[in-house]
Amino acid sequence: MTRIQVNGTTLGVESFGDWRAPLVLLVGGTTMLSWPDELCERLAAGGRHAVRYDLRDSGESESADPQAPGYTLRTLAADAAALAAALGEGPAHLAGIGVGGMVAQVAALDHPEAFSALTLVGTRPVAPGPVDPDLPDHDKATMGRLFSRPMPDWTDRAAVAGFVAAGAEVLGDDPVAARATAARIWDRTPGTEPPVQLANQLGVVFSRLDCTPRWRERLPGLDLPTLVVHGRRDRFFPVGNAEALAREIPGARLLVLDAARALPASAAAEVAAAMLEL
């Protein structure tokens, strides 16, 4: 684990594989731990330099005031392009998961010279908030159960891990894996504002970030190999969102997993193989 200063901020990064190999840059959603260790290791074994990183205001990355971000989605996209330039000598394969997938779309559109391929996992072509009429929205019953729960004591490691595990069960994910990941996130959270930082890393305050202007209408202009990965049972962003991405990005391949919201470690081999084919 290391920290790299780019684009006026400092980002926490973790590398897998030979740094001289072609770069695969993995945008976390918001924490780098959204990307399973197993997938990173598979990419490294396939001859890639896999680098996952934390977005601003999460994990090992620099924090300002995550409750009132002084940056936009386009700033995060510029971070990705700057980090790719700092880490490699040529265009990188850019991958984004969840909200990191939104960052990756904007980064590929705004900085086409920085990237040679694109992978989008568990994301959609519009920002948080109201969706376009042709896109399936969050499952209302699931969201009601997920967001009606009382918040945990964010300073209590066990309480936070239990809260995340219960939420994973609501979403149809593996609660055991979610509990372990949440504990790792808690352990990596800076000590200055742990409740705010943890909430941000779990996506609670991402909607406060300025995500304008729209980028969906620009997707047909993307000119790079693209893989879209999504869980068939995803109730947060139903699979129709991935189908829209695959339709609108020229030549994109759609890989639908027998999974829910999270990218399971059991799918690492299949997803890594598809990414290595790009």
pLDDT tens-digit profile of 57-102? 888 888 877 677 888 999 999 999 999 999 988 899 999 999 999 9
Region of residue 56 (phi > 0: left; psi between -120 and 50: alpha; otherwise: beta): beta
Mean pLDDT across the chain: 92
* Contact status, residue 47 vs residue 21, Cβ threshold 8 Å: yes
Angle, helices 268-277/37-45, rounded to nearest 10 degrees: 40
Please give the pLDDT value at position 192. 46
Please give the pLDDT value at position 195. 60
Residues, the chain: 278
State percent of the chain over pLDDT 70.
Answer: 93
pLDDT tens-digit profile of 180-192? 999 998 888 766 4
What residues does 11 pair with on adjacent strands? 4
Please give the pLDDT value at position 59. 84
Q: Which run of H or of E encompasses 4?
A: strand 2-6
pLDDT tens-digit profile of 190-215? 664 556 666 665 555 566 788 889 99
d(CA 27, CA 108): 12
Please give the pLDDT value at position 69. 80
Residue 159 scores a pLDDT above 80: yes
* Contact status, residue 67 vs residue 40, Cβ threshold 8 Å: no
> Longest C-alpha distance within the chain, in Å?
48
State percent of the chain over pLDDT 90.
Answer: 77
The SS3 call for residue 49 is strand
Per-residue confidence at 122, pLDDT binned at 50, 70, 90?
A: very high
* Cα–Cα nearest to 227, from 125, 122, 119: 119
Per-residue confidence at 171, pLDDT binned at 50, 70, 90?
A: very high
* Cα–Cα nearest to 12, from 32, 29, 26, 30: 32
**Peptide bond connecting 212 to the previous residue in cis, omega within 30 degrees of 0:** no
Domain 2-139+193-277 CATH class label: alpha beta
Complete edge-to-edge strand list for the sheet that includes strand 49-53: 2-6, 9-16, 49-53, 23-27, 92-97, 115-121, 226-231, 253-257
d(CA 130, CA 20): 43
* Contact status, residue 111 vs residue 78, Cβ threshold 8 Å: yes
pLDDT tens-digit profile of 95-110? 999 999 999 999 999 9
d(CA 134, CA 167): 27
Residue 36 scores a pLDDT above 90: yes
pLDDT tens-digit profile of 252-262? 999 999 999 99
